[in-house]
A and B are shown apart, each in its own frame.
Chain A
């Protein structure tokens, strides 16, 4: 009986965990999403915050255009509020380095830490010291295991992951005329962000596009293997109308495979901006669309959430920034909306 109860509870937990993929983006603990534009420091509070001489540290997981844009968004909001950024680090996806980075910046006694915890399990102990010192924690996308809102952290801020996957499905379906076969290359790891996006794509195709069928599914962990995965997929399914690729890194490999096969008809959609992938898109190649997040807005919302917590105001536990569908027609605007920088010259002069 005890075993049966445990099994039922596990099944219920699994159902809850998979539920978000069915309808909308939900937090790692099933939290409902609050749009990022709702999270803002009121004008009436700005002077009080500015007088507080608060400090912040930005502890990122890696370096990329995305991280630069998040940093820029957070830094701009902090500057507006006279909050000094005292340290910025990159863990290079190394959980041990992230732990060391946290310990190191604690020497500067920051009031706020913005970070992307690398992994729920390894990050739980890593952020413990910062948490116990009362530092306001705002997490990007991931949540350390066992952390409770609002006692342990101010908010999780992330992309509208379901919308990203859904918009990828919509864009691919549109480029295929609403009919045909699709290959689904998903991230084969237990990672909240990519799992949500990948499943949202699949769910949308299955539910909203009855004339499109997913005929090939292949997981990927190493982007360097994308080309051989795509080659195998095309060998078995030479008439593929489209391929979904979980993020832009492996999409470059898929693109290389299509080019090597002389394939000009199979469409690609992927997520996160990449110049080589976008270049193919603006030149009328295989890439139909890239779905991007509003990284700058993510940074701004993270900073604002931390400040609201400093002010002892209620902060929604799970905040999402909107997704942008970037096509050849709006590449300049999309780049600016996502990363808050001009699109590379190669993209704007290739049209």
Chain B
């Protein structure tokens, strides 16, 4: 009994919320929606496919938040990257489109990063401004038109394709999480990110190049948003200026519920994945429950509120 109590005391409550929350909500939907197809392989696969872009964005945001920064502009980056890629693919082969899409994402991330790391501007204000700036650019670059993506290889790799029966979006999710987790937990750079977020002055004194870390995390965040843009373009076989626009709050909530601290120094890529899946599962289950749209929004909001409150409870102590 003492051992159990001791282990419970040692459990990271903030990180555990997402595991228990995910399990509880999954079990609830599995029982209540058993006859409505929730547990079918197709539906469960759909949840992963639908959340793939948000999961990739969430991984980037884990790095930014862990370093004590925030990126509010990633939704706009998604749209600019997707549109850039779609426009390039109309006249050039696939590698150019992919390179431009990812390059635009990382480039905007670098732009944010330079303003934050070297001009010492607060990331909240910088990315709030660039969110509007790049949303406007996304609107103007194609005059509000949607751009079709006709390159079958691209839509296969980034959207509807499969490799050994595994959907490409699932593969991208696994690769993104594995690479993100590896860098975050098992490299010196990951440790520097956490140290910078935990105490930037101490990190600087101990030899970590804090501005460079800040620049890199914003580039990672932008690059992930760029990749998310490619995934959206592949999945929809088109790009539009609205892509990513509504993901900001969902992704922030997924990352916080996943155990990443808002004020830096702590985070989890696996938690972000579960947080993102939890959000997708909520959307999916509430629709299958045949709730009215307004009721879906209310229930989703309340569940996220509880999950975020529980996740942040530990760090507020």
Q: Which residues of A are interface residues toward B (Cβ below 8 A)? A: 60, 63, 85-90, 92-97, 99-101, 103-109, 119-122, 124-126, 145, 188-190, 221
Contact = CB atoms under 8 A, between A and B. Distances in A.
A327 B52 CA distance: 50
Nearest to B53: A96
Nearest to A146: B148
A96 B235 contact: yes
Interface string B28-46: 0000000011101011001
Interface stretch (B192-200, B209-217, B282-290): B282-290
Given A100-B50, A104-B288, A125-B235, 5 more contacts: A99-B236, A104-B50, A104-B283, A108-B288, A121-B238
Nearest to B239: A122
B148 A107 contact: no
15 contacts: A87-B288, A87-B290, A88-B290, A88-B292, A88-B293, A96-B243, A100-B284, A119-B238, A121-B148, A121-B238, A122-B236, A122-B238, A124-B148, A125-B155, A190-B144
B237 A107 contact: no
A89 B293 contact: yes
Given A63-B293, A100-B50, A119-B240, A107 B146 contact: no
Interface in B279-317: 280, 283-284, 287-288, 290, 292-294, 296
Contacts of B22: none
B236 A126 contact: yes
A112 B43 CA distance: 19
A122 B148 CA distance: 7
Contact of A86 (B53, B290, B293, B294): B290
A95 B240 contact: yes
| Range for the number of chain B residues in contact with chain A | 35 or more
B5 interface: no
A121 B243 CA distance: 13
B238 A107 contact: no
A221 B146 contact: no
A2 B58 CA distance: 50
B243 A90 contact: no
Given A88-B290, A103-B46, A221 B236 contact: no
Central interface residue in B40, B43, B46, B287, by most chain A CB within 10 Å: B287
B240 A122 contact: yes
Contacts of A99: 50, 235-236
A119 B155 CA distance: 18
Interface string B228-239: 000010011110
Nearest to A93: B242
Contacts of A108: 36-37, 288
B246 A97 contact: yes
Given A88-B292, A95-B242, A107 B232 contact: no
A109 B290 contact: no
Contact of A104 (B43, B147, B243): B43
Interface in B143-176: 143-148, 155, 160
B243 A124 contact: no
A120 B36 CA distance: 30
A99 B246 CA distance: 14
B38 A107 contact: yes
Nearest to A94: B246
Contacts of A106: 42
Contacts of B43: 104, 107
B49 A103 contact: yes
B298 to A, nearest CB: 13
Nearest to B160: A125
A139 to B, nearest CB: 16
Contacts of A100: 46, 50, 280, 283-284
A120 B146 CA distance: 9
B46 A107 contact: yes
B293 A122 contact: no
A92 B246 contact: yes
A107 B240 contact: no
B5 to A, nearest CB: 42
B235 to A, nearest CB: 7
Contacts of B143: 190
Contact of B237 (A63, A101, A125, A189): A125
Contacts of A90: 293
Nearest to A58: B293
Contact of B288 (A97, A107, A188): A107
Contacts of B238: 95, 119, 121-122, 124-125
List 9 A-B pairs, minimum CB-CB distance, nearest first. A107-B37, A121-B146, A125-B237, A100-B50, A90-B293, A107-B43, A122-B238, A121-B238, A103-B46
A330 to B, nearest CB: 30
A54 B145 CA distance: 37
B139 interface: yes
Interface in B177-196: none
